[in-house]
Amino acid sequence: MAVKLAVIGGGPGGYVAAIRAASLGADVTIIEKENFGGTCLNWGCIPSKIMKNSADLYNKLKKSASLGITITGELSFDMDALMERKNKVLESQRKGIESLLQGHQINIEKGRAKIVSPGHIDVADTATGKSIGVDYDHLIIATGTEPLNVSDFPFDHERILSSNDILEIDSVPESIVIIGGGVIGCEFAFIFASLGSQVTVVEALSRLLPLPAVDESCSKILLREMKKAKIKVICDTVVTGAVQNGDQLDITIDDSPFTDNPRPKKAGERQITGSKMAVCIGRSPLSVDLGLETIGVETDDRGWIKVNENLQTNIENVWAIGDILGPSRVMLAHVASHEGIIAAENILGQKKEMNYDVIPGAIFTMPEIGTVGLSESEALKKCMDIECFSVNFRTLGKAQAIDEIAGEVKVIVNKADRTLLGVHMIGPHATDLIAEATLAIQQKVTVEQIAHTIHAHPTLAEIMGEVALKASGSAIHG
C-alpha cells in the first residue's frame, strides 16, 4: 500500500515536496489555505521582480538620449498597468503549479489545516467553514511566514506598510521611509527611487545587507550606488514610533542599541518624515493554530519548528521544510524546494541530509548582487589561510556596451589548494552569473581551472575568467 503523505503549504517547498513524493509512489494530499506558490510567488520573489523589471526599463528610458534614442512626449509611470501585469503573471504561475500537481495525481485541498490527532488533519474551507478530514502516514509542514508586525508602529496598510502591502500599492509615493536595510528593504529602495520617490533607508546595524553571507565589499558598493540614486541611508539607527501628521508621517528615530559598530555616531532622538513607511525588518512563523501541540512537535520560543539534518521533527513521521524552520537555516525559496526534495526522499526510504554549505544568494538591487560560499570575514573567523582578489565590471566590453559598469566580483581563495571558498558579485546580472561560481565551489574547482576555461566574448560571464586569471597571477584586463 502506498505511503499516505499530507503536505501543509503549497509554496516552493511544499509543492516541490509533493511532486517529488508522488513521483516516488506516495499517495499525496497537499493543503493550501490561499494561493499556490507561497510567499515567493504571491508576496515576494516574483511580484517584486516584476516591479523591478519595470523600474529598470523606466530608468533606461529616462537616459535614452545618451543611448541614441529620442523619445518625444512626456515619460510617465502607470502603477495601475504594472499591477495589472503583475496579477496576470502571478495567476498564470499559480495555474501552472496547480496543473503540475494535478498531472502527478496529487490530491488538492483548499482550506485551513489543523492537526487534530496523530495521523489526522481537519481542513476547514475558509469561505464556507465546512471541514473535511485528511489522514496521513507522514506529514510535511511547509507553512512559511508572514511579515513581522512591530507593536511600536503596527501596520495600518495605508501609510505604515508591510512588504505585502507594497506589492499592492496603487501609486508611487512622493516619499517613503524603509525600515530595514536587508534584502527586501534594499530591493524596494531602488525600485521606488527609480520611479521617482524620495527614499530613506533606516538600518539598525552598521551597514546595508548586514548578513554573514554578504561580503562587506558588496555593502560598500551598494551604499555608493544608493547615494548615486539619491537614496538617503541612515545606519546604526532604529525607528521608535510613527505618528500621522496630515498627509505625512512623523517618524521618530534614535541611536540603535543593536548596532555592531564599535564607534557609532551618536545623534540621539530625532524625527524624519515620509508620506509612507515600509517595515521590512523580519518575518514571523506561521506555526500558530496548526495543532502542533496536539502531536507534540517541538518549536523554539519564537515558534520556529526544530528539525534534524534529515528535516525530521522530534515526531518520527512529521517533517518540516522552508521558512518555517527560521533564520537558523536559510530562508530562501530555492532552499525550501531542495529541502522539499530531501524530505520527500527520506519519507520514501532514502537517507539524505540537507547540506547548507553551498547555497547561492540572489539580491535584486540595482546593481544586482550574487553570493555563494564564505565571505572574507567568515573565512577569517574560521582562521582559514586565504587570499582575496577582485575585478571591476567596468573592465568588460559587454558591461561598457550595455552601459552597466558599476560593481565588481570578489573571490575568496584557499591558499592551500587554490580552490574557491566564496564568490561575491555586485554588478549587472550578478544573480544569473553566480551559477558558475556555485558549481565551482560545489565541485572544489581551483582558480587555475577557471582561468583556463574559455569564456565567450563579449559577455558578462567573462568576469569569472578575469578574476580567476588575476587570482592565478596572470591578470589580463583585471
Active-site residue, from 120, 455, 457, 477: 457
The three cell numbers of residue 113 are 489545516
The residues facing 146 across adjacent strands are 284
The three cell numbers of residue 115 are 492537526
The three cell numbers of residue 239 are 525607528
Q: Which amino acid is at 38?
A: G
User: Is 247 within 8 Å of 231 (Cβ atoms)?
Assistant: no
User: Scanning the structure block, which residue is given the C-alpha cell 506516495?
Assistant: 26
d(CA 358, CA 142): 22
Q: What are phi and psi of 425, to 5 degrees?
A: -115, 140
Give 392's Cβ-side CA count (13 Å radius). Answer: 7
DSSP 319-385: EE-GGGG-TTS---HHHHHHHHHHHHHHHTT-------SS--EEE-SSSEEEEEE--HHHHHHTT--
d(CA 394, CA 417): 30
Using CA of residue 356, residue 44, residue 241, residue 256, what is the dihedral sign? positive
Q: Which amino acid is at 325?
A: L
d(CA 162, CA 11): 20
Give the contacts of 92 (CB within 8 A, at least 6 positions apart). Answer: none
| DSSP letter assigned to residue 299 | B
CA-based nearest residue to 211, from 188, 186, 178, 179: 186
Helices (H) and strands (E) in the chain, counts: 14, 23
Q: Is 338 a catalytic residue?
A: no
Query: Which residues are catalytic, by number?
Result: 457
